[in-house]
Structure 1
Amino acid sequence: MGPLSATDIISDPHGRDHVDDIENRSRRSNLRIVNIPEGSENGKDPVKFIAELLVECVGPDVFTEPPELERAHRSLATKPKDGKPARPFVVRFLRFQQREAALRWSRNHEVKFQGSPLRFYPDLSSALARKRAEYNGVKQALYKKGVRFRLMHPARLVVTFEAQTFTFDSPEEAQEFYKRRVAKE
């Protein structure tokens, strides 16, 4: 058997997983920042704009000086019409640790820019984002019941309930657990 072509890998179901894994690894140093008002960069170099924004909004808790960024740009969607949500910024940090520090800090603090609350997210492939979104229904139900949970990479739900920890590899497993154990409470 000869070497595999890209078409062979993509047509194989496990190959798609492999390609998706490679794509997500290449995005590891990326951060997606949502809610920066459209046009607020005023023609300024996006890398410099985001570096300064991070120092201003996140502050000296994380950045005493502007972080080193490889690149920064708005997502490639078309520019939204007035009144529609702004396109997110995709930012690639030179150092993964700086990206992690900003992401971790933003989870526990409110970040605002020009009166808009900013949200920081890891930059994931669309396939992985869809897999993680499949848990949204059960996550919402768990949240309403006050049950602690977290989503682990790539797409595994970890639930802490009655002093026990449960891990689910599929939304169906998690939903079944919710119906059987949590909904009764």
Structure 2
Amino acid sequence: MFRTKDDRQTSWAQNQGNLGSDSEESEHESTHTTPLTKEDLRKMLKETSADIKDYTTAALEKQIAGLKGDIEALASRTGEAECTLKDTQTQVTSHGREMGMLKDRILFLEDGLEDLNNRSRRQNILIGGLAESVLPEAILPTIKAVFHSLLLDTSEQEIYIEQAHRALRPPSPNSNTPRDVIVKILHFPVKEQLMKVGRDHPPVYQGQQLQFYQDLAPSTLRKRRDLKPLTTALLETGLRYTWGSNLLPPPSGDQTYSLHQVSDMQDFATHLGIQLRYPAVDSHLTLNDNTSRRSDSRANMARPQPKRRPLNASQEHTQRDT
């Protein structure tokens, strides 16, 4: 259906009238709305705060409950760990005491074995300087002749030699020093007499002076070598010492001090008020260096003679008293 121009104008006028009436109604309603007061705002803020507080409190209580459970679990585990640690400390302390007792027993047994080893060597004489040109089958008659020259008032038949042989190790290719000869005398008094005369008047064979030493256990030689700085310092300060069952008991004035372990050497020297000088370590020096052992042994000739310790001729001898 087609509308005329007049119809369209009439419809537009009606629409404008409706819009005007709507705006008037909205203005009328706005004029009648009650404004918010401070009390209303406070009430709304209070309600909002209460809601936030309730929500926050519930969330915090939930989280705190979880943390409390975790803390209780950690406290339980910590208590168990403390109990375990306490038991472990008790066991470690007990094991430490037991290990200390076992260490003392081992040292006691080692000292006993060393003493037995030395006692089995008490009738041995260690002779240094006998040339390697003396063949093994000629060692026994040669030693008998040397001993007979020392004890002129004793017939050759009274010096009974059970065995005589060189140290059981190969000759050193880097040294001209001959291997030592170990001689076991049957009668101990004869051996002691030979040692005394041989040290006071060293015999000479084929132009080479022979040196007499007491045959000692390797462990004893090692201890005496380790104590070399202390014995040197004692000699320099004029303190006399002797070798005994306690390894080294040096008398000082009216008092006597005993050293039982090599590890206590520094404390021992500090107590006596002496200073130790340790020799420089030679990287080219080996345990089979006969020259170094020979020089140390010759230096010992000027020392106070130690108490003799017995040893076993059947065991390999590798070093002298150092």
Check whether TM > 0.5.
yes
**Is it true that 1:122 corresponds to 2:222 in the alignment?**
no
**Counterpart code for 1:165:** T
- Provide closer, same or farther for how the CA distance between residues 149 and 114 of structure 1 changes in structure 2, counting only shifts above 3 A: farther
Moved more, 26-35 or 84-93: 26-35
* CA distance in 1 between partners of 2:197 and 2:165 (Å): 22
TM-fit CA distance, 1:105? 3.2
Aligned mates of 1:178, 1:17 — CA distance in 2? 23
Give the aligned partner of residue 52 of structure 1: 145
Q: Distance in 1 between matches of 2:114 and 2:272?
A: 34
Which residue in the other structure is 1:170 paired with? 261
1:20-169 residue pairs with structure 2 within 5 A? Answer: 20-39=114-133, 41-42=134-135, 44-56=137-149, 58-60=150-152, 64-66=154-156, 67-81=159-173, 83-152=175-244, 154=245, 156-169=247-260
Say which is worse superposed, 88-97 or 72-81, in terms of deviation.
72-81
Unaligned runs of 5+ in 1: 1-11
Query: Are the aligned partners of 2:241 and 2:249 in contact in 1 as well (CA < 8 Å)?
Result: yes
Q: Which moved more, 1:169-178 or 1:122-131?
A: 169-178
Q: Which amino acid is 1:22 matched to?
A: L
Name the Cα RMSD after superposition: 2.8
Retained in 2: the 8 A contact 1:150–1:158? yes
C-alpha distance in 2 between matches for 1:17 and 1:138: 21
Deviation at 1:182, TM superposition (A): 4.2
* Equivalent-residue separation in structure 2 for 1:126 and 1:118 (angstroms): 22
Give, in angstroms, the shift of residue 19 of structure 1.
4.1
CA positional deviation for 1:107 = 4.0
Letter paired with 2:140: V
AA partner of residue 158 (structure 1): P
CA gap of 1:161–1:115, structure 2 versus 1, over 3 A, is farther
The one-letter code of the counterpart of 1:51 is K
Kept after mapping to 2: 8 A contact 1:168/1:174: yes
Cα separation, 1, equivalents of 2:217 and 2:274: 33
8 Å CA contact 1:128, 1:155 repeated in 2: no
Amino acid at match of 2:154: T
Q: Secondary structure at the match of 1:169?
A: coil
Tell me if structure 1 keeps the 8 A contact 2:203–2:209. yes
Q: CA deviation at 1:72?
A: 0.3
The C-alpha deviation readout for 1:26-70, integer Å capped at 9, x for no partner, is 22211111122221x3565322211111222x343xx62332100
Give, as a single letter, the amino acid of the residue that structure 2 aligns with 1:136.
Answer: K
Inter-partner Cα distance in structure 1 for 2:170 and 2:129: 16
Q: Percent identity?
A: 26
Shift of 1:172: 4.2
Distance 2:118 2:238 in 1: 31
Q: The residue matched to 1:180 in structure 2 has which SS?
A: helix
Secondary structure of 1:156's aligned partner: coil
CA contact (8 A) 1:138 1:171 kept: no
Where structure 2 has 5 or more consecutive residues not aligned to the other structure, the ranges are 1-104, 276-322
User: How far 1:173 sits from its partner (Å)?
Assistant: 4.1
